[in-house]
Structure 1
Amino acid sequence: MLHKILRAGVVALALVLATAADAQTDRFSGYGDTVQSPCRRWTTITPSDSVDLVEVPKAIYVGGAGDVAMIGVDAPSTATGVTWKAVPAASLLPARPRRVLATGTTATAIVGCF
C-alpha cells in the first residue's frame, strides 16, 4: 500500500514539474512594448555615413568605450549628426538613432536594442 502511495506521489510530482516546465512562457507578453520597456531583441550595428538603420532601435548598447556619432530618428534630412563623446564601455544609451555614423564613431561592439 505504501508503495502505491509513494508511486502516486512521484507521478503527481512529475506532473507538477512537467506542467511548470510547459507553462514557462512570457508573463509580460500581454503588456505593450514601449521605449521604456526592456529590450526584447537586438542586433549588431555597423556604422555608416550613408545608410540609415533598417529599424530604429529604442536604445543602443556600446560594448567598447569611445565616441558615438549619430543622427536621431527625428532629425531633419539635412542633419549631420551629433557625437556623444567618451561613452564608457558597457553603456546603454537611451538614444533612438536613424543612423550611427562611421565618421566620428570610435566606440566598438555597438548593438541596437529593440
Structure 2
Amino acid sequence: MSSASLKLIKDLDDFKFIYYWACPHSGQVSPNLPTLLHASEWLAEYQAKKYQNTERRKSTTDRRRRAYKSSSPSMELIYSRRINPEGRRVTDKLPTVDLDMTPDKCREARDQFIN
C-alpha cells in the first residue's frame, strides 16, 4: 500500500479534532493523531518502514531544512521537515485533508445541545 492509496481523514472524537490515515480496502491504518503535523510525521515513518529497497537518504528529515536546528527533543517535532516543504517526496510536503467529517458531527452536536 503506497502513500497514494492512503487518504487523510479529519474527524471529531469526544469533541476533539483527530486525524488518521485510511485505505479504501483496509480501513483505518494509523492511530488517531491530534494534529496535522503528527499525521504527516506518522506518514513519513510509515513510508520509511515499508520501503524495501536501499534508501539513499541518511535521514528521514528533509535536508533542505537548515534554518531551524532544534536543541530540544520536545521541539524536534515542531521544527521537523515541514518548515520549508520544498522536498520532492510525498513525505516532504505537508499533507492535505482528503475527507473532512467534522462539519456534520459539529452540526449534530449543536442540534443535541439546542434540543
TM range (shorter): under 0.3
**TM-score normalised to structure 1 length:** 0.22
**TM-score normalised to structure 2 length:** 0.22
Larger radius of gyration: 1
Q: Which has the higher strand share?
A: 1
